[in-house]
Amino acid sequence: MRASNGVAVQTDLLLDQAQDAYDLLLVPGGPGAYNECHPALLPWLRAAAPRARRFGSICTGAFVLGHAGLLDGHRVTTHWHYTERLIKAFPKAMVETDRIYLQDGRLITSGGVTAGIDLALSVVAQDHGKQVAVDVAKVLLVVMKRQGGQAQFSPMTAAVAPQETTITRVQNHVLAHLDQPFTIESMAELAGMSARHFARLFAKEVQMTPMVFLQGARIDPRPAIAGNHRPAAQDRGFSRRLR
């Protein structure tokens, strides 16, 4: 098969030739993981996961596990860009949005792409000791354990466009008052619009829903980018005017 990045993948075994049990069973991510269903794979995965010493996913491979019913009741993570989608798709899973990787019992999941390296180093440390994992990290030229969570890589605060519109003023107001609760209705009131019209206009202008923006802003540790944050006096005037 050919992956979404163009790389051809040659398998060693077909699904019906797979072993009965695995020490580590991982599902990779990609558009095929979250945009497609895999009816032939899911029954096999449901049967194989209980027999594996550990099982889990890299990046959006969590969606395949979810469709197999293997995320229910577990703490899990995925790439920050897809956490809200994972939350909506599998409400019985406890999705954590800021973890590089996460282990809950035998289930291990990771954020996007290179977070799989962090997950792998953790597995090596568990199975072979910390020193072996450190030596592997040195060979790979990566740190043994990254500081902070994956939210530091989220460009949410940079998503505020430099040109001023009603939507960007609402965005900047939200960024300046993250200690306050916000709903679509309260943000729409700031913009002087109905909630439905505001949500539609926001998604069109920002390319994400208001709640995705709000969630990203709350977990993003960086301040608003220079030039996008309105001075407090102007912000207060904007609030008074819209009220």
Across 29-48, average pLDDT: 91
CATH, range 15-151 = 3.40.50.880
- The predicted pLDDT at position 234 comes to 37
- 68-82, 98-112, 130-144, 217-231: least confidently modelled range: 217-231
The domain locations on the chain are 15-151, 157-242
Name the residues annotated as catalytic.
Answer: 59
C-alpha angle 39-42-48 in degrees, rounded to nearest 5: 150
Across 104-124, average pLDDT: 94
pLDDT band at 240 (very low <50, low <70, confident <90, very high): very low
- 74-78, 184-188, 218-222: least confidently modelled range: 218-222
pLDDT band at 243 (very low <50, low <70, confident <90, very high): very low
Q: Is a pLDDT exceeding 60 seen at residue 233?
A: no
The mean pLDDT value of the chain amounts to: 84
Fold for 157-242, please state it: Arc Repressor Mutant, subunit A (1.10.10)
- The predicted pLDDT at position 203 comes to 87
User: Is pTM, for the whole model, over 0.75?
Assistant: no
pLDDT band at 220 (very low <50, low <70, confident <90, very high): low
CA distances from residue 63 to 70, 85, 86, 133, 144 in whole angstroms, order as listed: 10, 9, 7, 28, 27
Q: Is a pLDDT exceeding 50 seen at residue 222?
A: no
